Each structure stands twice: as structure tokens, then as C-alpha cells.
Amino acid sequence: MSPRAILFDFDGTLIDSAASVLASLDHALKRSNVTPVVTLDRALIGPPLRKTLATLTGSDDAALLDILAQAFRDDYDTRGYTRTEVYAGVPEMLQGLQTQGIALHIVTNKRLAATRRILDHLGWTAWFAGIYALDALEPAAPNKPHLVAEVLRRERLPAATTWMVGDSAEDRRSAETNALRFFAATWGYGAAADDAEDDRSLTAPLELLQAARRAPTATHAPSD
């Protein structure tokens, strides 16, 4: 069925923030004289910040994670976010979907403040009817499936006419948990394409626009 709304993951789906995030993580570690226990590479991108910091340090010490998180934010929110890169074809896809009258929403593990800064920096804010992050809820959403469920409730989006696009297994699980049709962005960081149906595995952003145009529109039986 033709979508009336599409929920997008952010990192690895619309933007590539690997270079900017890794640079700010490196800054935070060096500022606090912490040596990472795993390699600082793209495999770290995607999970919430504190989970990433815990992986990097091999520690769940709340005080240490607080210090590192603040150091990361100080760097990322002032200069790091401006290094964000855009996947080829994404702006054209978003513009085309909006022109079709489809409501676009972001559902992300990235902090809301950083997400909004990046959208403003790229000039994309006006394309989105809703921008949601785990920390946009009070209390914060425990995971992305919960966040997606809350977005559907708040925005009054029927599952039958709402699609979701993401690059990770968590994104796929978030869609399936909420009965949404899921499309895997294979250019991203994660493994969302694993076990995905062929017609739902995207090799380029504009394929989503084509899928939305091809999807049949819901029909209603005439009333008596």
C-alpha cells in the first residue's frame, strides 16, 4: 500500500557521521586520558552514546561515562557535527517523497539536540514533519522499538500506511515489532539487509522514491 508516512533512521541511512563522531570520541578519550579497549572505527557508529562509550572503555562506571559523554558533546556540538557527510541521492529522495505528500519523520538513537543541529546545518529541517530521538521522550525511550511505537501513537500514524527505512538490525526489529513495512538501506553501517526480502533491500536512496511511486493506493468500497 502507498505510504502516507515514512520513518527514517538517521545515521547510516540519511547521513554518514562516522568521521565526525569518531573524531569527537577520540577527543573525549584523549581529554580524559582514557585508552580505548577496542579499535576506534566505524563499527562503533549507531548505538546510543553511553553504550558506545561503555564499549570503548570496557567500563560501566557512571561517573567516567558522564565525564566522557560531556567531553564528546562539547566537541561534537560546537564543531564535530559540521563534518557530517550526506549519502548521494538522499536530498533528491527526500524532496521527491515530500512532493508526493508523504509525511517524513526521523527516529534516531542520536541525541535530539545534535540531530536538530545537523538538520539545520544541511537545510533539511523543513522536510520533516517530526524529529524524534530516544532523549526526546520523558523519560527517555529505553530503545528504538519503544520510540517508534510512541511516534506512531503521537503522530496518529496507521501501521498499514507507514513505512520505515534503516540500516541496522535494530531498525528492522523496530519496524517488525510495530507492524511496519521495512526497507533496508544497504549503504549504511549495520546489517539491516540480512534476511531482507529482495524488494525491500535498497542499494540507492532513489529506489525508495521509486517504490513509493509504484505502491498501489488503498481503495475503499463504495458506501450504500
Q: Hey, what's the cell of 24?
A: 569527537
On the question of pLDDT at 224 being above 50, the answer is no
Question: Do 54 and 140 form a contact (C-beta atoms < 8 A)?
Answer: no
On the question of pLDDT at 213 being above 50, the answer is yes
Same domain, 120 and 160: yes
Same domain, 29 and 11: no
Same domain, 183 and 162: yes
For residue 223, what pLDDT is reported?
A: 43
Convert the pLDDT of each residue in 52-89 to its tens digit: 999 999 999 999 999 999 999 999 999 999 999 999 99
**CA–CA–CA angle 34, 35, 38 (5° rounding):** 130
Separation between Cα atoms, residue 3 and residue 157, nearest integer Å: 10
Where is pLDDT greater, at 189 or 204? 204
Question: Do 162 and 3 form a contact (C-beta atoms < 8 A)?
Answer: yes
Residue numbers of the domain that contains 63: 18-82
Block residue for cell numbers 563534518: 83
Is residue 219 in a domain?
Answer: no
Of 100, 113, 42, 106, nearest to 72 by C-alpha is 113
Same domain, 70 and 165: no
Convert the pLDDT of each residue in 108-163 to its tens digit: 999 999 999 999 999 999 999 999 999 999 999 999 999 999 999 999 999 999 99
Same domain, 116 and 207: yes
Q: With the CA atoms of 217, 90, 199 and 195 taken in that order, what torsion angle do they form, in degrees rounded to the nearest 10?
A: -130
Work out the mean pLDDT of the chain and round it to a whole number: 92
11 annotated active-site: no
Same domain, 134 and 54: no
Is residue 46 in a domain?
Answer: yes
What burial letters (b/e) apply to 152-173, b meaning 16+ CB within 10 Å? beeeebeeebbbbbbbbbbbbb
Q: Which of 9, 16, 75, 167 is catalytic?
A: 9
Is residue 224 in a domain?
Answer: no
Q: Mark which of 46, 67, 82 sits at the end of a domain.
A: 82
